Amino acid sequence: MKNAICAFALAASLLPAGEMKVFPTPNVDYSRYKTFTVSPPRLATRQGIIENDDTIIPALRAAAARHMSAKGFTEVPSGGDITVQVGGIGSGTLTVDALLMTWGVDFYYGYYGPTSYTPIQRFNKEGTVVIGLVDTKTKKGLWAGFATEGLGGRGGIEKTVNDATARIFKKFPPKK
- Assign residue 77 the CATH number of its domain: 3.30.160.670
Asked if residues 85 and 1 have their Cβ atoms less than 8 Å apart, the reply is yes
Please check whether residue 97 lies inside any domain of the structure: no
Note the pLDDT of residue 123: 63
pLDDT in tens, 98-151: 878 788 887 777 777 777 778 887 766 778 899 999 999 999 999 999 998 776
Domain count, the chain: 1
Distance CA 81, CA 25 (A): 16
Please check whether residue 118 lies inside any domain of the structure: no
Please check whether residue 147 lies inside any domain of the structure: yes
Residue 12 has pLDDT above 60, yes or no: no
Model-level pTM greater than 0.75? no
